[in-house]
Amino acid sequence: MEQQSRTLRLSADRAEEIQTAGNLLKSGGLVAIPTETVYGLAANALDGRAVAAIFAAKGRPMDNPLIVHISQLDQWAALVSEIPPRAMELANRFWPGPLTIILPKSPLIPDEVSAGQATVAVRFPSHPVARAVIDAAGVPLAAPSANLSGSPSPTEAQHVLADLDGRIDAVLDGGPCRVGVESTVVTLAQEVPRLLRPGGITPEQLSQVLGRVEVDPAVMNPLAAGEKVLSPGMKYKHYSPKANVILVKGNLSAYLEYVNSRAEEGVFALCYDGEQEALRVPAVAYGAKQDAAGQARHLFDALRKLDQMGAKVVYARSPQPKGVGLAVYNRLIRAAGFEVVELG
Ligand code: AMP
Ligand code: MG
Protein backbone atom coordinates (compact mmCIF):
# COMPACT_ATOMS: atom_id res chain seq x y z
CA MET A 1 0.00 0.00 0.00
CA GLU A 2 1.21 3.55 -0.70
CA GLN A 3 2.20 5.65 2.28
CA GLN A 4 -0.62 7.55 3.94
CA SER A 5 -0.26 11.32 4.00
CA ARG A 6 -2.34 11.73 7.15
CA THR A 7 -3.04 9.53 10.12
CA LEU A 8 -6.47 10.08 11.60
CA ARG A 9 -6.63 10.48 15.40
CA LEU A 10 -9.64 8.66 16.82
CA SER A 11 -10.84 8.50 20.43
CA ALA A 12 -12.04 5.26 21.98
CA ASP A 13 -14.35 7.34 24.19
CA ARG A 14 -16.65 7.87 21.20
CA ALA A 15 -18.63 4.91 19.86
CA GLU A 16 -18.81 6.42 16.36
CA GLU A 17 -15.00 6.69 16.22
CA ILE A 18 -14.66 3.00 17.12
CA GLN A 19 -17.06 2.36 14.23
CA THR A 20 -14.86 4.53 11.96
CA ALA A 21 -11.89 2.36 12.92
CA GLY A 22 -13.95 -0.75 12.11
CA ASN A 23 -14.96 0.65 8.72
CA LEU A 24 -11.36 1.53 7.81
CA LEU A 25 -10.30 -2.01 8.71
CA LYS A 26 -13.17 -3.55 6.76
CA SER A 27 -12.05 -1.68 3.65
CA GLY A 28 -8.44 -2.89 3.89
CA GLY A 29 -6.94 -0.06 5.98
CA LEU A 30 -4.42 -0.06 8.82
CA VAL A 31 -5.51 1.14 12.26
CA ALA A 32 -3.47 1.12 15.49
CA ILE A 33 -5.66 -0.04 18.38
CA PRO A 34 -5.25 -0.29 22.14
CA THR A 35 -5.08 -3.73 23.76
CA GLU A 36 -4.27 -4.71 27.34
CA THR A 37 -0.70 -5.66 26.28
CA VAL A 38 0.57 -2.95 23.87
CA TYR A 39 -0.96 -1.02 20.96
CA GLY A 40 -1.45 -3.27 17.93
CA LEU A 41 -1.26 -2.29 14.25
CA ALA A 42 -4.38 -3.98 12.94
CA ALA A 43 -5.58 -5.10 9.50
CA ASN A 44 -8.20 -7.57 8.28
CA ALA A 45 -6.51 -10.92 8.96
CA LEU A 46 -8.34 -12.59 6.08
CA ASP A 47 -7.13 -10.06 3.48
CA GLY A 48 -3.55 -10.83 2.37
CA ARG A 49 -3.11 -7.40 0.76
CA ALA A 50 -4.17 -5.53 3.89
CA VAL A 51 -1.86 -7.71 5.97
CA ALA A 52 1.07 -7.08 3.59
CA ALA A 53 0.62 -3.35 4.24
CA ILE A 54 1.33 -3.94 7.95
CA PHE A 55 4.79 -5.26 7.08
CA ALA A 56 5.45 -2.26 4.83
CA ALA A 57 4.32 0.31 7.42
CA LYS A 58 6.44 -1.23 10.19
CA GLY A 59 9.43 -2.22 8.07
CA ARG A 60 8.86 -5.72 9.47
CA PRO A 61 10.76 -8.68 7.98
CA MET A 62 8.30 -10.70 5.87
CA ASP A 63 9.22 -13.98 7.61
CA ASN A 64 7.96 -12.79 11.02
CA PRO A 65 4.35 -14.03 11.40
CA LEU A 66 1.49 -12.05 12.95
CA ILE A 67 -0.97 -12.78 15.74
CA VAL A 68 -4.66 -12.94 14.79
CA HIS A 69 -7.05 -11.30 17.27
CA ILE A 70 -10.64 -12.44 17.86
CA SER A 71 -13.51 -11.01 19.91
CA GLN A 72 -15.50 -14.21 20.51
CA LEU A 73 -14.22 -17.68 21.38
CA ASP A 74 -16.25 -19.22 18.56
CA GLN A 75 -14.25 -17.30 15.91
CA TRP A 76 -11.21 -19.46 16.70
CA ALA A 77 -12.30 -22.73 15.10
CA ALA A 78 -12.37 -21.34 11.54
CA LEU A 79 -8.76 -20.13 11.84
CA VAL A 80 -7.12 -23.41 12.90
CA SER A 81 -7.19 -27.00 11.64
CA GLU A 82 -8.57 -28.22 14.95
CA ILE A 83 -8.76 -27.20 18.61
CA PRO A 84 -7.37 -29.97 20.82
CA PRO A 85 -8.79 -30.30 24.36
CA ARG A 86 -5.68 -28.83 26.06
CA ALA A 87 -5.96 -25.73 23.85
CA MET A 88 -9.58 -25.26 24.88
CA GLU A 89 -8.61 -25.67 28.54
CA LEU A 90 -5.99 -22.95 28.17
CA ALA A 91 -8.47 -20.65 26.47
CA ASN A 92 -11.10 -21.25 29.12
CA ARG A 93 -8.61 -20.37 31.82
CA PHE A 94 -6.79 -17.37 30.32
CA TRP A 95 -8.99 -15.87 27.58
CA PRO A 96 -9.85 -13.13 27.18
CA GLY A 97 -6.34 -12.04 28.18
CA PRO A 98 -2.64 -11.63 27.32
CA LEU A 99 -2.05 -15.16 25.99
CA THR A 100 -1.42 -16.20 22.36
CA ILE A 101 -1.93 -19.83 21.37
CA ILE A 102 -0.29 -21.36 18.27
CA LEU A 103 -1.94 -24.27 16.43
CA PRO A 104 -1.82 -25.66 12.87
CA LYS A 105 -3.64 -23.15 10.64
CA SER A 106 -6.73 -23.49 8.49
CA PRO A 107 -6.79 -22.62 4.75
CA LEU A 108 -8.54 -19.33 5.64
CA ILE A 109 -5.26 -17.86 6.91
CA PRO A 110 -3.40 -15.95 4.18
CA ASP A 111 0.31 -16.74 3.76
CA GLU A 112 1.13 -13.14 4.71
CA VAL A 113 -0.20 -13.76 8.24
CA SER A 114 1.63 -17.01 8.91
CA ALA A 115 4.76 -15.94 7.00
CA GLY A 116 5.45 -19.37 5.62
CA GLN A 117 4.66 -21.32 8.81
CA ALA A 118 2.02 -24.09 8.82
CA THR A 119 0.67 -22.64 12.05
CA VAL A 120 -1.27 -19.59 13.18
CA ALA A 121 -1.05 -17.61 16.42
CA VAL A 122 -4.42 -16.52 17.87
CA ARG A 123 -5.31 -14.26 20.79
CA PHE A 124 -8.61 -13.19 22.36
CA PRO A 125 -7.77 -9.84 24.02
CA SER A 126 -9.55 -8.63 27.16
CA HIS A 127 -9.39 -4.91 26.34
CA PRO A 128 -12.99 -3.77 25.73
CA VAL A 129 -11.91 -1.34 22.99
CA ALA A 130 -9.90 -4.00 21.13
CA ARG A 131 -12.93 -6.29 21.21
CA ALA A 132 -15.29 -3.50 20.13
CA VAL A 133 -13.07 -2.72 17.11
CA ILE A 134 -12.92 -6.39 16.07
CA ASP A 135 -16.72 -6.50 16.34
CA ALA A 136 -17.04 -3.28 14.34
CA ALA A 137 -14.70 -4.61 11.62
CA GLY A 138 -16.63 -7.88 11.51
CA VAL A 139 -13.44 -9.87 10.83
CA PRO A 140 -10.50 -11.17 12.89
CA LEU A 141 -7.62 -8.68 12.99
CA ALA A 142 -3.95 -9.45 12.40
CA ALA A 143 -1.98 -7.12 14.64
CA PRO A 144 1.69 -6.94 15.59
CA SER A 145 2.89 -4.21 17.93
CA ALA A 146 2.28 -0.76 16.41
CA ASN A 147 5.89 0.44 16.36
CA LEU A 148 8.58 0.62 13.69
CA SER A 149 10.23 -2.78 13.59
CA GLY A 150 13.04 -2.95 16.15
CA SER A 151 12.00 -0.02 18.35
CA PRO A 152 10.32 -0.28 21.78
CA SER A 153 6.67 -1.35 21.61
CA PRO A 154 4.02 1.36 22.06
CA THR A 155 1.99 1.48 25.25
CA GLU A 156 0.34 4.85 24.49
CA ALA A 157 -1.18 6.38 21.34
CA GLN A 158 1.56 9.02 21.24
CA HIS A 159 4.21 6.27 21.00
CA VAL A 160 2.39 4.95 17.92
CA LEU A 161 2.37 8.39 16.32
CA ALA A 162 6.04 8.95 17.12
CA ASP A 163 6.84 5.89 14.95
CA LEU A 164 4.04 5.62 12.39
CA ASP A 165 2.42 9.03 11.82
CA GLY A 166 1.73 9.35 8.10
CA ARG A 167 2.33 5.62 7.50
CA ILE A 168 -1.04 4.27 8.74
CA ASP A 169 -4.70 5.27 8.29
CA ALA A 170 -5.62 5.91 11.92
CA VAL A 171 -4.75 5.47 15.58
CA LEU A 172 -7.50 4.83 18.10
CA ASP A 173 -6.52 6.36 21.44
CA GLY A 174 -7.68 4.23 24.38
CA GLY A 175 -5.19 5.47 26.98
CA PRO A 176 -2.16 3.60 28.37
CA CYS A 177 -1.97 -0.22 28.22
CA ARG A 178 -2.48 -2.16 31.46
CA VAL A 179 0.06 -5.00 30.99
CA GLY A 180 2.66 -3.06 28.99
CA VAL A 181 4.54 -5.98 27.40
CA GLU A 182 3.36 -8.17 24.53
CA SER A 183 1.35 -11.35 25.09
CA THR A 184 2.73 -14.65 26.29
CA VAL A 185 3.14 -16.90 23.22
CA VAL A 186 2.80 -20.68 23.64
CA THR A 187 2.80 -23.25 20.84
CA LEU A 188 0.60 -26.33 21.05
CA ALA A 189 1.59 -27.37 17.53
CA GLN A 190 4.01 -29.94 18.98
CA GLU A 191 3.70 -32.66 21.58
CA VAL A 192 5.27 -30.82 24.49
CA PRO A 193 3.90 -27.26 24.75
CA ARG A 194 6.60 -24.64 24.43
CA LEU A 195 6.78 -21.07 25.67
CA LEU A 196 8.09 -18.96 22.77
CA ARG A 197 7.70 -15.54 24.37
CA PRO A 198 7.06 -14.69 28.03
CA GLY A 199 4.38 -12.13 28.87
CA GLY A 200 1.61 -11.31 31.33
CA ILE A 201 0.65 -14.99 31.74
CA THR A 202 3.56 -16.70 33.51
CA PRO A 203 5.13 -20.13 32.77
CA GLU A 204 3.86 -21.26 36.20
CA GLN A 205 0.29 -20.36 35.23
CA LEU A 206 0.62 -22.25 31.93
CA SER A 207 1.95 -25.33 33.73
CA GLN A 208 -1.08 -25.39 36.00
CA VAL A 209 -3.16 -26.22 32.92
CA LEU A 210 -0.66 -27.93 30.61
CA GLY A 211 1.68 -29.76 32.99
CA ARG A 212 5.12 -29.78 31.42
CA VAL A 213 5.94 -26.66 29.40
CA GLU A 214 9.32 -26.20 27.71
CA VAL A 215 10.81 -22.74 27.71
CA ASP A 216 12.39 -21.98 24.35
CA PRO A 217 16.12 -21.26 24.81
CA ALA A 218 15.69 -18.01 22.86
CA VAL A 219 13.61 -16.60 25.74
CA MET A 220 16.73 -16.10 27.87
CA ASN A 221 19.71 -16.48 25.54
CA PRO A 222 20.97 -15.14 22.23
CA LEU A 223 20.65 -17.40 19.22
CA ALA A 224 23.72 -18.93 17.69
CA ALA A 225 24.37 -17.69 14.14
CA GLY A 226 22.18 -19.55 11.64
CA GLU A 227 20.20 -21.36 14.37
CA LYS A 228 16.64 -22.25 13.35
CA VAL A 229 13.95 -20.69 15.52
CA LEU A 230 10.35 -21.63 16.22
CA SER A 231 9.34 -18.00 16.73
CA PRO A 232 10.99 -15.91 14.02
CA GLY A 233 10.37 -12.72 16.00
CA MET A 234 13.04 -13.77 18.47
CA LYS A 235 15.90 -13.60 16.01
CA TYR A 236 15.61 -9.90 15.28
CA LYS A 237 16.98 -6.91 17.13
CA HIS A 238 14.03 -5.84 19.19
CA TYR A 239 12.62 -3.33 21.64
CA SER A 240 15.70 -1.16 21.14
CA PRO A 241 15.93 2.54 21.82
CA LYS A 242 18.57 4.53 19.94
CA ALA A 243 20.77 4.58 23.03
CA ASN A 244 23.15 1.71 23.69
CA VAL A 245 21.57 -0.24 26.59
CA ILE A 246 23.75 -2.35 28.89
CA LEU A 247 22.13 -4.70 31.39
CA VAL A 248 23.87 -4.58 34.79
CA LYS A 249 23.49 -7.55 37.15
CA GLY A 250 24.39 -7.16 40.81
CA ASN A 251 23.14 -5.64 44.06
CA LEU A 252 22.24 -1.98 44.49
CA SER A 253 25.52 -0.79 45.99
CA ALA A 254 27.56 -2.51 43.27
CA TYR A 255 25.26 -0.99 40.62
CA LEU A 256 25.58 2.51 42.09
CA GLU A 257 29.35 2.27 42.31
CA TYR A 258 29.61 0.96 38.75
CA VAL A 259 27.35 3.59 37.20
CA ASN A 260 28.56 6.53 39.29
CA SER A 261 32.16 5.86 38.33
CA ARG A 262 31.11 6.16 34.68
CA ALA A 263 29.24 9.45 34.95
CA GLU A 264 29.78 11.58 31.86
CA GLU A 265 27.81 13.36 29.14
CA GLY A 266 25.24 11.01 27.55
CA VAL A 267 25.44 8.33 30.25
CA PHE A 268 22.04 7.54 31.80
CA ALA A 269 20.57 4.98 34.20
CA LEU A 270 17.44 2.87 34.01
CA CYS A 271 16.80 1.97 37.64
CA TYR A 272 14.12 0.96 40.12
CA ASP A 273 11.86 3.49 41.84
CA GLY A 274 13.61 5.42 44.61
CA GLU A 275 17.15 4.80 43.33
CA GLN A 276 17.53 8.00 41.29
CA GLU A 277 18.73 10.10 44.22
CA ALA A 278 21.80 7.93 44.75
CA LEU A 279 22.84 8.08 41.09
CA ARG A 280 25.19 10.71 39.71
CA VAL A 281 23.80 10.38 36.18
CA PRO A 282 20.30 11.27 34.92
CA ALA A 283 18.02 8.33 35.64
CA VAL A 284 14.62 7.00 34.61
CA ALA A 285 12.87 4.51 36.91
CA TYR A 286 10.82 1.65 35.47
CA GLY A 287 9.01 0.43 38.57
CA ALA A 288 9.53 -0.83 42.10
CA LYS A 289 12.06 -3.62 42.64
CA GLN A 290 9.49 -6.15 43.87
CA ASP A 291 6.74 -5.14 41.44
CA ALA A 292 7.28 -7.03 38.18
CA ALA A 293 3.84 -6.06 36.86
CA GLY A 294 4.65 -2.39 37.39
CA GLN A 295 8.02 -2.84 35.65
CA ALA A 296 6.26 -4.47 32.67
CA ARG A 297 3.80 -1.57 32.49
CA HIS A 298 6.52 1.10 32.45
CA LEU A 299 9.51 -0.45 30.68
CA PHE A 300 8.81 0.57 27.07
CA ASP A 301 7.79 4.11 28.00
CA ALA A 302 10.98 4.41 30.06
CA LEU A 303 13.11 3.31 27.08
CA ARG A 304 11.44 5.89 24.83
CA LYS A 305 11.93 8.60 27.48
CA LEU A 306 15.65 7.87 27.66
CA ASP A 307 15.96 8.53 23.93
CA GLN A 308 14.01 11.77 24.26
CA MET A 309 16.32 12.89 27.05
CA GLY A 310 19.32 12.34 24.80
CA ALA A 311 20.78 9.19 26.35
CA LYS A 312 23.72 7.69 24.47
CA VAL A 313 24.54 4.90 26.94
CA VAL A 314 22.02 3.44 29.41
CA TYR A 315 23.04 1.24 32.33
CA ALA A 316 19.91 -0.76 33.18
CA ARG A 317 19.21 -2.51 36.48
CA SER A 318 18.57 -6.14 35.59
CA PRO A 319 15.07 -7.39 36.57
CA GLN A 320 14.49 -10.68 38.39
CA PRO A 321 13.53 -13.20 35.67
CA LYS A 322 10.67 -14.75 37.68
CA GLY A 323 6.92 -14.66 37.06
CA VAL A 324 6.00 -11.62 34.97
CA GLY A 325 9.60 -10.50 35.56
CA LEU A 326 10.66 -13.12 33.00
CA ALA A 327 8.89 -11.04 30.33
CA VAL A 328 10.56 -7.85 31.57
CA TYR A 329 13.97 -9.55 31.50
CA ASN A 330 13.32 -10.98 28.02
CA ARG A 331 12.52 -7.52 26.60
CA LEU A 332 15.31 -5.69 28.38
CA ILE A 333 18.03 -8.15 27.44
CA ARG A 334 16.97 -7.75 23.80
CA ALA A 335 16.90 -3.98 24.15
CA ALA A 336 20.49 -4.42 25.36
CA GLY A 337 21.38 -6.67 22.41
CA PHE A 338 22.45 -9.22 25.08
CA GLU A 339 25.18 -6.90 26.39
CA VAL A 340 25.42 -7.78 30.08
CA VAL A 341 27.78 -6.73 32.88
CA GLU A 342 27.93 -9.07 35.90
CA LEU A 343 29.12 -7.39 39.09
CA GLY A 344 30.61 -9.51 41.88
P1 AMP B 1 4.36 -9.02 17.63
O2 AMP B 1 3.08 -9.09 16.88
O3 AMP B 1 5.26 -7.91 17.24
O4 AMP B 1 4.05 -9.05 19.09
O5 AMP B 1 5.08 -10.36 17.26
C6 AMP B 1 4.37 -11.58 17.25
C7 AMP B 1 5.25 -12.66 17.80
O8 AMP B 1 4.59 -13.92 17.71
C9 AMP B 1 6.55 -12.78 17.03
O10 AMP B 1 7.61 -13.06 17.95
C11 AMP B 1 6.30 -13.97 16.14
O12 AMP B 1 7.50 -14.61 15.77
C13 AMP B 1 5.39 -14.84 16.99
N14 AMP B 1 4.51 -15.66 16.16
C15 AMP B 1 3.38 -15.27 15.51
N16 AMP B 1 2.87 -16.28 14.80
C17 AMP B 1 3.67 -17.34 15.00
C18 AMP B 1 3.68 -18.68 14.51
N19 AMP B 1 2.75 -19.14 13.67
N20 AMP B 1 4.67 -19.49 14.92
C21 AMP B 1 5.64 -19.04 15.76
N22 AMP B 1 5.69 -17.78 16.25
C23 AMP B 1 4.72 -16.94 15.87
MG1 MG C 1 6.61 -6.36 18.04
Chain segment 78-123, per-residue pLDDT in tens: 999 999 999 999 999 999 999 999 999 999 999 999 999 999 999 9
Ligand with smallest separation from the Cα of 152: 2
Q: How many angstroms does the Cα of residue 231 sit away from the middle of ligand 1?
A: 6
Exposed, middle or buried by CB within 10 Å (0-12, 13-18, 19+), for 187? buried
The whole-number pLDDT of residue 125 equals: 98
- Does the pLDDT value for residue 236 go beyond 80? no
The whole-number pLDDT of residue 221 equals: 87
CA 125/CA 27 separation, integer angstroms:
22
Ligand 1 pocket residue status of 146, Cβ below 6 Å? no
Average the pLDDT over 332-337 and give the result.
Answer: 94
Closest ligand 1 atom to 115 CA: 19
- Does the pLDDT value for residue 170 go beyond 50? yes
Q: Is 112:52 a contact under the CB 8 Å cutoff?
A: yes
Ligand 1 pocket residue status of 298, Cβ below 6 Å? no
Closest ligand 1 atom to 121 CA: 16
Q: Is 137:25 a contact under the CB 8 Å cutoff?
A: yes
Sheet with 214-215: strands ordered across: 8-11, 170-173, 31-33, 40-44, 141-142, 67-69, 119-123, 99-104, 184-187, 194-197, 214-215
Residue closest by Cα to atom 21 of ligand 1: 231
Taking only the tens place, the pLDDT of each residue in 15-61 is: 999 999 999 999 999 999 999 999 999 999 999 999 999 999 999 99
pLDDT band (50, 70, 90) for residue 239: confident
Residue closest by Cα to atom 2 of ligand 1: 144
- Residues paired with residue 32 on neighbouring β-strands, in sequence order: 41, 171
- Does the pLDDT value for residue 1 go beyond 60? no
- Does the pLDDT value for residue 224 go beyond 80? no
Ligand with smallest separation from the Cα of 187: 1
Ligand 1 pocket residue status of 230, Cβ below 6 Å? yes
Residue closest by Cα to atom 13 of ligand 1: 231
The single-letter code of the amino acid at 255 is Y
The whole-number pLDDT of residue 31 equals: 98
Closest ligand 1 atom to 232 CA: 12
